[in-house]
Amino acid sequence: MTRTLSIAIKENTYQDLKQKIGVGKISSFVNKAVEKELSELEKKEQQQREELRQKLITGYKANARNKRLQKELKILEEMSLEDVSKISQRSKKKSDEQKN
């Protein structure tokens, strides 16, 4: 399926297309050029996603090796919701006292 588009290009670009490609072949040429650009754009986006994925994996691995962080996480896992609530209340109370 094809679509008809109305696009604007510079006059000198049109003249170059007409001269080098030919009047009846401009649409095909432009379509191929756009497909090529879109393909390159998709490759760049895919590469960026892969780079981000690798950075995340590296970060996760570093955190997994971080002994101090592991100890803190273990403590937090063992804490009950009541403990967390008490700590939060104490922190809020200290904050309110410092404001006054």
Q: Which residue ranges make up each domain of the chain? A: 11-94
pLDDT score at 100 = 66
Go through 27-48 and write b for each residue having 16 or more CB atoms within 10 A of its CB, e for each that does not.
Answer: eeeeeeeeeeeeeeeeeeeeee
pLDDT score at 9 = 95
Tens digit of pLDDT per residue, the chain (100 long)? Answer: 989 999 999 999 999 999 999 999 999 999 999 999 999 999 999 999 999 999 999 998 887 788 888 888 788 777 776 777 777 787 777 777 777 6
